[in-house]
Chains A and B, each alone.
Chain A
């Protein structure tokens, strides 16, 4: 897989929420554009996502009680909505970590994660 290749839709469905939860766990609070930029930079473009993907995902995570959203004013006077993990979100992230570890180990054993030229 090329580093800049975007994840397929189905893969994004599983990886996207886990990545968002992990970013929020690391940075505390983030707003939408900040999340998109961090996901893109942190995944070398593999987890690039537009607003039509990001915001429904955030609203779904909020509906499940995994995120808490707060409107806050920026120094420039604009308002931004900041997202933060809830305790339930932190527990869900732990679940994701366990599951992704198991999946990556399994894929490695099956040879999926090996370089094609190696």
Chain B
């Protein structure tokens, strides 16, 4: 390009300014355009006619720029895919960021007393549910005993609708040691109070009960509400955690 007459070099520069290319692409195209003009001059053409063929720098630059960018995209499909992926991730991130920060901070519970009220409501519903469990498994009264129908109901709850002969043969072992209805209810109330506390006591006590096979069989009816309470604690635990994280300073 150094050998080119100044008007030719200026025309190439002006066109490439309009093309808005990356440095290496610009150098590549400039060298090719310069070689074209040099070939023309070597073949005996005059510079004016060659520059007249060149066209307006702005229009020529725009056409060249567009085609070089198209070639760039075709040369690096992986880069293009990576850019599209990064852009998609950025859009998702911005969307999530806006969603998280656009809303005013809120609490799952307006106050500790509201939380307690919610637990109280949960207690009432758990008590009612457990009373129906007891009614289906035990005879009437605080001294009520576990019945065979009750044991069947428990097995159905565990998903055993068709117990094996071995299980049926062992069934009588449940009855001599099974706790009376009043004792089961008291244990249930104790677990209910433990479930209300935020610490791990409920899980520890529940684990202890389930790992003590003899006691678990004795209080077999408890397994139904304990599972429900564990699930409810999970829900309340998450809600309390959300409330804590959203709390404004």
Docked complex Cα distance between A31 and B64 (Å): 17
B84 at the interface (CB under 8 A from A): no
Contact status A63-B71, CB under 8 Å: yes
Contact status A51-B55, CB under 8 Å: yes
Contact status A32-B36, CB under 8 Å: yes
Q: CB-nearest residue of chain B relative to A50?
A: B53
A residues in contact with B43, CB < 8 Å: 33, 37
Shortest CB-to-CB span from A54 to chain B, Å, is: 8
The prevalent SS among residues of B at the interface is helix
Q: By the criterion of a CB under 8 Å from any partner CB, how many residues of chain B are at the interface? A: 27
Partner of B54, one of A33, A50, A78: A50
Contact status A55-B64, CB under 8 Å: yes
Shortest CB-to-CB span from B142 to chain A, Å, is: 87
B143 at the interface (CB under 8 A from A): no
Sort chain A's interface into a size bin.
20 to 34
* Stretch of B26-34, B123-131, B166-174, B232-240 on the interface side: B26-34
Docked complex Cα distance between A63 and B35 (Å): 21
B residues in contact with A80, CB < 8 Å: 35, 39
The number of residue pairs between A and B whose CB atoms lie closer than 8 Å in the complex comes to: 74
B63 at the interface (CB under 8 A from A): yes
B residues in contact with A59, CB < 8 Å: 64, 67-68, 70-71
Partner of A31, one of B39, B53, B54, B67: B39
Docked complex Cα distance between A64 and B74 (Å): 7
Shortest CB-to-CB span from A115 to chain B, Å, is: 30
Contact status A51-B53, CB under 8 Å: yes
Max chain A Cβ within 10 angstroms of own Cβ: one of B36, B40, B56: B36
B residues in contact with A56, CB < 8 Å: 63-64, 66-67
9 A-B contact pairs sorted by A residue (CB < 8 Å): A32-B36, A33-B40, A52-B56, A53-B63, A55-B64, A60-B67, A63-B70, A63-B74, A64-B74
